[in-house]
Amino acid sequence: MKNCVQRNSYLGAGPRPWLKLDFRDTSGNVRTSKLVADTGSPQAVVLAPTVFEELVLIQIDSITNNFGQSDGGWLQLYMPECGLVERSKGYANLQVEQIVRKSHSDFVGLVGLPILRLGEYGGDAKSFWFRYPPSNTPSP
């Protein structure tokens, strides 16, 4: 398996860290989403409701958090070239969509700790990066 690294310059108003992730939709097609990286989010993914509806494989219970009620479902993270083929819980929330799109119109949601912790992530003054699989070398 190849080591995959994304290094993305911050994007948007109040520049935000972000990742480009691929998901399989309900028809089996791969859809790419630009998601704000939120290292404080306990949800794997929170998406615009229209994007969520295209990607949700199985509905699950909704949750309520500081953004209000979010519909839940299982999604298929699908990046086989990186070795990332995972089912993950995802949520739909209109308020999250409005917040991230206010920063940049390409953003369709956020990616949180459950996915970020699959690999290694970090940032510096210029960019945010994500590496999968994580290296075996401890961080300094």
Q: Is 39 in contact with 128 (CB distance < 8 Å)?
A: no
CATH of the domain at 74: 2.40.70.10
Which tokens in the block code for residue 42?
């306990």
Whole-angstrom CA distances from 115 to 76, 125, 132 are 12, 23, 11
Residue 32, domain member (yes or no):
yes
Which tens digit of pLDDT belongs to each residue from 10-26? 999 999 999 999 999 99
Residue 27, domain member (yes or no):
yes
Does the reported pTM lie above 0.85?
A: yes
Residue 126, domain member (yes or no):
yes
Q: What is the mean pLDDT of the chain?
A: 94
Give the mean pLDDT of 131-138. 75
Number of domains present in the structure of the chain: 1
Residue 66, domain member (yes or no):
yes
Residue 31, domain member (yes or no):
yes
Residue 139, domain member (yes or no):
no
Q: What is the DSSP letter of 55?
A: H
pLDDT reported for residue 134: 82
Which tokens in the block code for residue 124?
């510096």
Is residue 54 predicted with pLDDT exceeding 80? yes
Q: Is 37 in contact with 19 (CB distance < 8 Å)?
A: yes
> Which range of residues forms the domain containing residue 38?
4-9+18-132
β-pair partners for 71:
92
Residue 140, domain member (yes or no):
no
Which tens digit of pLDDT belongs to each residue from 121-133? 999 999 999 999 8
Kindly calculate the radius of gyration of the chain based on its CA atoms and give it in whole angstroms. Answer: 15
Residue 111, domain member (yes or no):
yes
